[in-house]
Homo-oligomer: A and B are copies of this chain.
Amino acid sequence: MPDLTTLSHDELSALKAQLDQEYAAFKAKDLNLNMARGKPSAEQLDLSMPLLNVISSSSDLFSEDGTDCRNYGVLDGIPEAKRLMASMLDDDPDNVIVMGASSLNIMYDTVARCLDFGTLGSKPWCQYDSIKWLCPAPGYDRHFGICEAFGIDMIPVTMTPDGPDMDEVERMVALDDRIKGIWCVPKYSNPGGVSYSRETVERLANMDTAADDFRIFWDNAYCVHHLFDDEADQDQLYDIAEACAEAGNPDRYFKFASTSKITFPGAGISAFAASPDNVADAKRRMNPQIIGYDKINQLRHARFLKDAEGISAHMAKHAAILRPKFQLVAQKLQEGLGDANVASWNDPRGGYFVSFDAFPGTAKRVVGLAKEAGVTMTGAGATWPYKQDPQDSNIRIAPTLPGLDELSQALDVFVCCVKLAAVEKLLQQ
Closest residue of B by beta carbon distance from A148:
B288
Asked whether, in the complex, the Cβ of B70 is within 8 Å of the Cβ of A290, the reply is no
A277-299 vs B, CB cutoff 8 Å, 1 = contact: the mask equals 00000000101111111111100
Asked whether, in the complex, the Cβ of A73 is within 8 Å of the Cβ of B293, the reply is no
Closest residue of B by beta carbon distance from A292:
B266
Given A100-B101, A142-B288, answer yes or no on A296-B45 (Cβ-Cβ < 8 Å).
Answer: no
- How many residues from A make CB contacts under 8 Å with B? 55
Separation in Å of the A110 CB from the closest CB of chain B? 11
Stretch at the interface among A46-54, A169-177, A179-187, A374-382: A46-54
| A297 / chain B contacts, CB cutoff of 8 Å | 267, 294, 297
A70-102 vs B, CB cutoff 8 Å, 1 = contact: the mask equals 111110000000000000000000000000111
Distance of A174 Cα from B267 Cα, bound (Å): 45
Asked whether, in the complex, the Cβ of A52 is within 8 Å of the Cβ of B56, the reply is yes
Q: Does A40 contact B (CB under 8 A)?
A: yes
Given A58-B49, A145-B288, answer yes or no on A116-B150 (Cβ-Cβ < 8 Å).
Answer: yes
Asked whether, in the complex, the Cβ of B72 is within 8 Å of the Cβ of A45, the reply is no
Asked whether, in the complex, the Cβ of A71 is within 8 Å of the Cβ of B40, the reply is yes
Distance of A264 Cα from B55 Cα, bound (Å): 15
The quantity of this chain's copies bound in the complex is: 2
A251-294 vs B, CB cutoff 8 Å, 1 = contact: the mask equals 00000000010001111000000000000000001011111111
Q: Does A126 contact B (CB under 8 A)?
A: yes
| A31 / chain B contacts, CB cutoff of 8 Å | none
| A39 / chain B contacts, CB cutoff of 8 Å | 71-72
Asked whether, in the complex, the Cβ of A265 is within 8 Å of the Cβ of B70, the reply is yes
Asked whether, in the complex, the Cβ of B72 is within 8 Å of the Cβ of A46, the reply is no
Asked whether, in the complex, the Cβ of B108 is within 8 Å of the Cβ of A288, the reply is yes
Separation in Å of the A59 CB from the closest CB of chain B? 11
Contact of A294 among B46, B68, B267 (CB under 8 A): B267
| A178 / chain B contacts, CB cutoff of 8 Å | none
Contact of A288 among B49, B101, B126, B146 (CB under 8 A): B146
Contact of A55 among B52, B104, B266 (CB under 8 A): B52
Give the interface SS of chain A, mostly helix, strand, loop or mixed: loop
Asked whether, in the complex, the Cβ of B45 is within 8 Å of the Cβ of A68, the reply is yes
Given A40-B71, A71-B264, A296-B264, answer yes or no on A290-B58 (Cβ-Cβ < 8 Å).
Answer: no
Asked whether, in the complex, the Cβ of B294 is within 8 Å of the Cβ of A100, the reply is yes
Separation in Å of the A298 CB from the closest CB of chain B? 9
Distance of A55 Cα from B296 Cα, bound (Å): 15
| A148 / chain B contacts, CB cutoff of 8 Å | 288
| A288 / chain B contacts, CB cutoff of 8 Å | 108, 142, 145-146, 148-149
Distance of A260 Cα from B296 Cα, bound (Å): 13
Separation in Å of the A271 CB from the closest CB of chain B? 16
Q: Does A404 contact B (CB under 8 A)?
A: no
Closest residue of B by beta carbon distance from A100:
B100
Separation in Å of the A262 CB from the closest CB of chain B? 12
Q: Does A57 contact B (CB under 8 A)?
A: yes
Q: Does A42 contact B (CB under 8 A)?
A: yes
Asked whether, in the complex, the Cβ of B296 is within 8 Å of the Cβ of A104, the reply is no
Given A58-B49, A288-B148, answer yes or no on A265-B72 (Cβ-Cβ < 8 Å).
Answer: yes
> Could you pull out 17 A-B pairs where Cβ atoms are within 8 angstroms?
A42-B71, A49-B57, A52-B56, A70-B264, A70-B265, A72-B260, A73-B266, A74-B266, A100-B100, A108-B288, A108-B290, A112-B116, A145-B287, A149-B285, A266-B292, A266-B295, A267-B296
3 closest Cβ contacts across the A-B interface? A149-B288, A145-B288, A267-B296
Q: Which residues of A contact B (CB under 8 A)?
A: 37, 39-40, 42, 45-46, 48-49, 52-53, 55-58, 68-74, 100-102, 104-105, 108-109, 112, 115-116, 126, 142, 145-146, 148-150, 260, 264-267, 285, 287-297
Known contacts A104-B290, A105-B290; 13 further A-B pairs (Cβ under 8 A)? A39-B71, A39-B72, A40-B71, A70-B264, A70-B265, A102-B290, A102-B291, A112-B116, A126-B126, A142-B291, A145-B287, A265-B291, A267-B295
